[in-house]
Amino acid sequence: MVLHNISLPPGKFGTGMVESLFCNALDCSSDPQLADLAGVEVSAHLFIDRRGRLSQFVPFDLRAWHAGVSSWRGRSGCNAFSIGIELEGTDTRPYSAKQYLRLASTLRWLLRTYPRLSVDTIVGHNEIAPGRKTDPGGSFDWSRLFDSV
């Protein structure tokens, strides 16, 4: 289970643009900060917005395109064997209490539903793509999460 952060445009929340991106329907001409996303096709299994609302974009038994070039425990291509969970946020801004509550309840459900998963399979994007990715960032409170899972 790979935790990410995303906001579109960068640093702005509640725009609906993240959802559009994951549905391949983002109008990249609507904001100059989106120009680099033209033609990009990415997805995540889940997205948790600032209010703690959960959206699913890809079924758990199908591959989502969230990890990019990645490896974990000697195995490359994490998209093939991971669940991508995007949190609406940035590396530097604290996540909301509602996001932590929803994330913890979602992770508990995943752990009960998929016995091959365990708490030690919850990682940040930065851990599977070191040097390339930094999310969920320094503002993510791992202790808070693990204490509630």
Domain limits, the chain: 2-148
For residue 77, give Cα distances in angstroms to 65, 67, 111, 129. 10, 8, 22, 10
Compute the Cα dihedral for 78, 7, 144, 104 and give only its sign.
negative
* 19 in active site: no
Structure-block tokens of residue 147: 């204490």
The catalytically annotated residue of 19, 41, 86, 88 is 86
Task: Please report the pLDDT score of residue 89 as a whole number.
Answer: 98
Per-residue pLDDT of the chain (149 residues; tens, 9 = 90+): 999 999 999 999 999 999 999 999 999 999 999 999 999 999 999 999 999 999 999 999 999 999 999 999 999 999 999 999 999 999 999 999 999 999 999 999 999 999 999 999 999 999 999 999 999 999 999 999 999 99
**Domain 2-148, architecture per CATH:** 3-Layer(aba) Sandwich (3.40)
Compute the Cα dihedral for 54, 60, 65, 70 and give only its sign.
positive
Q: In 3D, which of 25, 143, 140 has the Cα closest to residue 86?
A: 140
Q: In 3D, which of 61, 59, 19 has the Cα closest to residue 42?
A: 19
